[in-house]
Amino acid sequence: MLLWFLLLFLIPAMTAAAAGTRKNCGGNFTARKGVLQTPDFPKNFSTPIDCEWVIKSEKENTSIIVYLTQMYVFEGLTFTEYVEYDKRLPGVVILSGEDVVKGKYVQCHKNVLVISLKLNSIENNHIRVMDNFMDVYGFNITYEITSGDVRKDHCNMMDCGYTGLCYDYGT
């Protein structure tokens, strides 16, 4: 009886969690540049969410630069760099918490940059500005793996007066 109860309760919860993390949630990124976004951006995503975007640079003397163009979520995000990615080892946190919405870019000089998003609920952790973006969730940001410098043509939500019209035309 107890076992049945546990199975009935646990199986739907487990499959829901698996479906939530599978659908274009995070992934491995090795291309020279690309776009990283939360599932169904700009729409809401299902929570709890636990996703990882792993950017790997396979070339020497390059850095990984992430441009924080459309960043609406100010909780649960952590940018961690690793020389060699291994979940069991601690990396170095280079950006997290509310600093994520203040920053314009993140530059990582190691081989791997992991962006992790962990949220139990979607309430009260998104920037909200009346009339502009009451219903935008998560983020839509870009990265590049380069031997060059940080580009100058980047913007973030503050730069564009919180209109939400902030794009990266270089990636």
Ligand X SMILES: *[C@@H]1O[C@H](CO)[C@@H](O)[C@H](O)[C@H]1NC(C)=O
Residues found near ligand X in the complex (CB under 6 A): 27-28, 35, 41-42, 44, 46, 60-61, 69, 122, 140, 142, 167-168
Under 8 Å between Cβ of 155 and 140: no
- Residue 6 or 109 with smaller CB distance to ligand X: 109
What is the rounded distance in angstroms from the CA atom of residue 4 to the CA atom of residue 22?
A: 27
Tell me how far, at minimum, the Cβ of 159 lies from ligand X, in Å: 13
Distances 128 to 16, 136, 167 between C-alpha atoms, Å: 28, 9, 19
- Residue 15 or 28 with smaller CB distance to ligand X: 28
Tell me how far, at minimum, the Cβ of 92 lies from ligand X, in Å: 20
Angle at 165 between CA 22 and CA 53, to 5 degrees: 25
- Residue 42 or 48 with smaller CB distance to ligand X: 42
Of how many residues is the chain composed? Answer: 171
Tell me how far, at minimum, the Cβ of 163 lies from ligand X, in Å: 12
